[in-house]
Chain A
Amino acid sequence: MFQTSLELLRFHWAAYSIYALLIISIIAWFGYNLTRKEKVKSIVRIPFYGYIAFLVAGGVGHHIFTYNAIPWVAEDIMRHDIKADHEYDITVAKHQWKLPEKPIHFKEGEKVRFNVRSEDLTYGFGLFRKDGTMVLQMQVLPKHRNDILWTFNECGTFDLTSTEYSGPAQYDHETGRDKMLIKDAVVVDCKQKLAQK
Chain B
Amino acid sequence: MEKKSFVQTLIHGTDFDHTQLSALQKVTLRAVVMSFLFFGLVAIEGMIMRMVETGPSNPLPKMFNHPNHFFSIMTVHPIVGIFGSTYQLVFAAFMFLVPYLTKKPLYSVKLANAVWILITVGTALAWIAGFIWHYAPLYTLYWPLPADLEQFKLIGGFVFVIGVALIMIGTIGFIYNIYATIFARTGVHKNKTTKELLISGFGIDGLMNLIHKLTGKPPYSKEPALSLPVVAIFRGTVDTFLDALVILGAGILVLVYLIADAGGVTWDVHTVDSLLYKNFFWWGLDLVADGLVLIYVAGSWYLLATIITGQKLFMENVARAALLLELVVSWMVWSHHLLADQPQPEMMKLISGEMVTAFELLTQGLALFITLVTLWKARPLKMSPELAYLLGGLVGFGLAVPAGIIQADMGMNRVLHNTQWISFAHFHIALIVGLYMTLYSALYVLWPLVTNNTTLFSKKLTWTHFWLYLIGGVGMGAFAGMAGLDGMLRRHLYVNGEFNTWMILAALFGSMVLIAWFVFLFNIVMSVGLKGLVGIFLPAKDNVASYGLDEEPEAAPETVPAQQ
A residues sitting closer than 8 Å to B (CB atoms) are 5, 8-9, 12-13, 16, 19-20, 23-24, 27, 30-31, 33-37, 39, 48, 51-52, 55-56, 58-60, 62-63, 66-67, 69-70, 72-73, 76-77, 120-122, 124, 126, 128-129, 131-139, 141-148, 163-173, 175-178
Contact = CB atoms under 8 A, between A and B. Distances in A.
Given A27-B394, A30-B391, A73-B411, 17 more contacts: A13-B485, A20-B478, A31-B387, A35-B382, A52-B365, A59-B405, A62-B405, A76-B414, A122-B142, A129-B487, A132-B488, A137-B414, A141-B275, A142-B144, A145-B342, A173-B67, A177-B495
Contact of A56 (B142, B362, B399): B362
A5 to B, nearest CB: 4
A167 B66 contact: no
Range of interface residues on B (Cβ < 8 Å): 35 or more
A55 B394 CA distance: 16
A167 B148 contact: yes
Interface stretch (B100-108, B169-177, B205-213, B369-377): B369-377
B46 interface: no
Contact of A141 (B274, B355, B487): B274
Given A62-B358, A63-B354, A165 B491 contact: yes
A167 B482 contact: no
Given A12-B485, A59-B362, A70-B411, A168 B68 contact: yes
Interface in B377-402: 379-383, 387-388, 391, 394-395, 398-399, 402
Most chain A CB within a 10 A radius of its CB, from B150, B361, B405 = B361
A134 B487 contact: yes
Contact of B145 (A8, A27, A30, A166): A166
Given A30-B372, A72-B411, A144-B275, A59 B485 contact: no
Contacts of B136: 167-168
Contacts of A35: 380-383
Contact of A76 (B71, B143, B315, B410): B410
Contacts, number: 215
Given A23-B399, A37-B380, A136-B415, A16 B361 contact: no
Contacts of B137: 167
Given A12-B406, A34-B380, A132-B487, A77 B395 contact: no
A135 B275 CA distance: 24
Contacts of B395: 23-24, 27
B9 interface: no
A23 B400 CA distance: 11
A142 B136 CA distance: 19
A9 B415 contact: yes
A34 B409 CA distance: 36
Contacts of B387: 31, 34
Interface of B: 65-68, 70-71, 134, 136-138, 140, 142-145, 148, 150-152, 270, 273-275, 278, 315, 338, 340-343, 346, 350, 354-355, 358-359, 361-362, 365-366, 369, 372, 375-376, 379-383, 387-388, 391, 394-395, 398-399, 402-403, 405-406, 409-412, 414-415, 417-419, 425, 474, 478, 482, 485-489, 491-493, 495, 498-499
Contact of A34 (B315, B366, B381): B381
A59 B358 contact: yes
Contacts of A172: 67
B272 to A, nearest CB: 10
7 contacts: A31-B387, A35-B382, A59-B362, A124-B340, A144-B342, A168-B67, A168-B71
Contacts of B338: 139
A60 B358 contact: yes
A181 to B, nearest CB: 10
Nearest to A77: B346
Given A12-B406, A34-B383, A164 B66 contact: no
Contact of A164 (B142, B380, B383, B493): B142
A13 B388 CA distance: 28
